[in-house]
Amino acid sequence: MTTDQGFEDFVTATHDLFTAMRRNRGRLAGSAAGLSLSQLNLLDAVATDGPMLVGEVAAEAGVSGPSATRMLKQLEREGVVTRERSVDDERKVLVDLTEHGRELVHRQRRALRALQREHYASLSLEQRKVFVDVLQQMAVMIGEWNEV
95, β-bridge pairs: 52, 83
Q: Does 26 map to a domain?
A: yes
Spatial distance between the Cα atoms of 49 and 94, rounded to a whole number of angstroms: 12
Opening angle at CA 92, ends 87 and 93, nearest 5: 85
Give me the mean pLDDT over the 21-41 stretch: 68
Q: Does 86 map to a domain?
A: yes
Q: Does 36 map to a domain?
A: yes
Q: Does 143 map to a domain?
A: no
Residue 29 pLDDT level (bands cut at 50, 70, 90): very low
Find the domain containing 84 and state its range. 21-123
Residue 124 pLDDT level (bands cut at 50, 70, 90): very high
pLDDT at 50: 87
- What pTM was computed for the model? 0.73
Q: Does 132 map to a domain?
A: no
Q: Does 97 map to a domain?
A: yes
- CATH of residue 68's domain is 1.10.10.10
> For residue 141, is pLDDT > 60?
yes
Residue among 106, 97, 87, 100 nearest 46 (CA) = 97
